[in-house]
Amino acid sequence: MTHSAYPTVRLKPKAEARAIRHGFPWVYANELVTDRRTKALEPGSIAILEDSDRKAMGVVTVNTGSKIIARMLDRNPTATIDQNWFETRFERALAHRTALFDEPFYRLVHAEADGLPGVIVDRFGDVAVIQPNAAYADGMFDVLAAALEQVSGVSTIVKNGSGRARSLEGLDEELTVVKGSIDAPVPVPMNGATYMADILGGQKTGLFFDQRPNHAFVQRLCKDAKTLDVFSHVGGFSLAALAGGAKSALAVDSSAAALALAEQGAEASGVADRFATRKGDAFAMLEELAKEGEIFDVVVCDPPAFAPSKKALEAGLRAYERVARLAAPLVKPGGYLTLCSCSHAADLTKFRNASARGIGRAGRRMQLVRTGFAGPDHPLLPHLAESGYLKSLTFRLDI
């Protein structure tokens, strides 16, 4: 039995129906029959997906203007996508995060893996930031926000409609506080430090929760260490290092606003006396520090995505190699160098090879001591291996 209120869309005979039955969440544009009726569907419409034999496979959202023309919402073809449906999804997501964390600061919803395609929700205590990156989520935003409020009890909800994913769906940029109010950065406790999240003016949702386990690992290496945190944003690795007993931490970033938040975080964490910042281009700063003869026990480089798309891959890998080449000379023998990538297009092997090449070109020997990824509040679907975008490599040099 199918849901009579929704139109139907159908897979072409050559489409991989079995992969979708086994959990693959997307239907690509060349796999769906796009007759006049399907083309007439509004972006974000809800429909029943049928295989080429007209057997119902589940409820999908359709956007004929996107390469991912349909996203699986529910494998039960009789499901109704309403506030109750969203509440069930949020309850499931919340149960997982509550098991992981003592305090409500985490990624609450990580898109497809949490059964909400194209939806990201970051939670900062009583504040939730929703990124509706798919047309259906944008169109049903009020219902989605009401469900989130009901389940989580947050008092402030922000709609952050920015980023590449939305433009691929044909959606406009938008940033609004839809419930409650925010008039200052929100303090976020993490790994013993306090970070300041600028929800309305910062990058993405204001803070990167994905690095939490990688901050925690580097923190263990930083007892009594002189630490350098390049591309530091709001002090991710440096504040964690100081909370772990680092002797000093220098944060380098090109954004004065991000460094000001890092300084506020150091103040709130009670470590301002051991914290310093330098504003400037990261590559130039690495060269400058080398000229000054600076040497650190632990160096971390966490740049923005150098390879956000396949087109940018080769240039991106060269940039990762250059970061490694410039950072390696700043690490004392036996010290640690952590290099990160948040590029979807650069897989782990390519990123690791570029990093190792750069360290080698700097004349340093290395051992890889840890490979890290995003934390467990960023679950993945096994079918979307590339959605594991965050990679963190920690090397020990000259051992």
Per-residue pLDDT, 79: 97
* Rounded Cα–Cα distance for residues 189 and 166 (Å): 30
**Tokens standing for residue 29:** 């544009």
pLDDT at 163: 79
| pLDDT, tens only, 165-200 | 888 788 888 999 999 999 999 999 999 999 999 999
Residues 236, 229 contacting (CB under 8 angstroms)? yes
Strands 127-132 and 68-74, how do they pair?
unpaired
pLDDT (0 to 100) of residue 203:
64
Listed as ranges, residues in the chain with pLDDT below 50 are 1-2
Helix 313-327 to helix 348-361 angle, to the nearest 10 degrees? Answer: 40
> What is residue 247's DSSP assignment?
S
Q: Name the residue with tokens 């996508």.
A: 81
Per-residue model confidence as pLDDT tens digits over 112-159: 999 999 999 999 999 999 999 999 999 999 999 999 999 999 999 999
Among 75, 91, 104, smallest CA distance to 147 is for 91
Nearest to 300 by CA among 229, 206, 250: 229
pLDDT value, residue 387: 53
**238 alpha-carbon distance from chain centroid:** 19
| Rounded Cα gap, residues 107 and 119, in angstroms | 11
In this prediction, residue 384 carries a pLDDT of 76
pLDDT for the residue 284: 98
pLDDT of 3 reads 53
Report pLDDT for 99.
98
Cα–Cα separations (whole angstroms), residue 225 to 211, 251, 254, 299: 20, 14, 24, 10
The number of residues in the chain equals: 399
- Give the per-residue pLDDT at 1: 44
State phi, psi for 296 to the nearest 5 degrees: -125, 155
- pTM equals 0.94
β 186-190/174-179 pair status: unpaired
For residue 170, the model assigns a pLDDT of: 84
Amino acid symbol at 73: L
- Computed from CA positions of residues 154, 160, 165, 167, in that sequence, does the dihedral angle turn out positive or negative? positive
> According to the model, what pLDDT value does residue 385 have?
62
Query: Roughly what angle, to the nearest 10 degrees, separates helices 282-291 and 313-327?
Result: 20
3-state secondary structure of 341: strand
Which H or E run includes 243?
A: helix 236-243
